Amino acid sequence: MRRAAVPAAAGAVLLATAIAAGAGPDSVAGSPTAAAEGVKRALVAAKPTPRQSPPPTTTTPPPATTETPATRPEKAQPNNTVRLVRGGTATLVPMDVVNGVLPVPEGVRQAAWWGATLDARNGATVLAGHVNWHGATGPFAELWQSKAGDVVTVMDKDGKSYRFQVRQVETVHKDQLPSRAQELFGQDGEHRLVLVTCGGRWVGGAEGYEENRVVIASPV
């Protein structure tokens, strides 16, 4: 996933939202307040730069590992980070929607944060990160191994921990994403954590990857 101000129809990783009205009182600092028309193309990321070679065609980008959550030494989680079940950790960067596009930080160790706050009563807290970058695999590549029951921990900037349990894992073709935007990323309904990366078949061009991995987790 990479930032690109491109039309929604041509985005390589597209989370085209129909989010009504803006962020509201439970939105994270930096989230948009524009009306729905201004945020219909809420998250777009384009193909890697020429310096980055595409990974092999696969729906499971992460390399195999023998380490499990049970055997991995537990380390203190830094503030303002998300930690996935296999230990992948990314720093959260609140991002604004600009001209209908939510930029994703370029480093694999950072994730864009948009939408509801961690303690919100309603709406989606959306975290989006790269699957890889300039040959390095990012922590969000773990999403391709996620399963129901996994626990994701988010630490806010003040060191308060929030736990979410995965309840839904989907691979969504980019062509299908706009019609499901409100369902997945809307700021109404129950509060949920929505983690997103790209992957699947490499198609190149403006698309880059053909699919998005969407992992939805509920507070626990």
Q: What is the domain count for the chain?
A: 1
Taking the C-alpha atoms of residue 87 and residue 68, their distance in angstroms, rounded to an integer, is 9
Determine, yes or no, domain membership for 130.
Answer: yes
Share of the chain above pLDDT 90, in %: 47
Is 72 inside any structural domain?
A: yes
Give domain status of residue 2, yes or no. no
**Within a domain: 1:** no
Position 27 scores a pLDDT of 58
The span from the CA of 177 to the CA of 146, in Å, is 20
pLDDT along the chain (220 residues), means of 10: 33 36 48 33 40 45 49 80 97 83 83 96 95 90 97 97 98 88 91 94 75 96
Give this prediction's pTM: 0.74
142, 69 Cβ separation under 8 angstroms: no
What pLDDT shows up at residue 135? 84
**CATH classification at residue 119:** 2.40.260.10
Domain-embedded: residue 187 = yes
d(CA 72, CA 109): 19
Domain that holds residue 137: 8-219
Please report, as a single letter, which amino acid is at residue 193: L
pLDDT tens for 141-200 read 999 999 999 999 999 999 999 999 999 999 999 888 888 888 999 999 999 999 999 998
- Decide if 174 is inside a domain: yes
- Residues contacting 91, CB < 8 A, separation 6+: 78, 80, 81, 109, 110, 111
- Is residue 3 one of the residues assigned to a domain? no
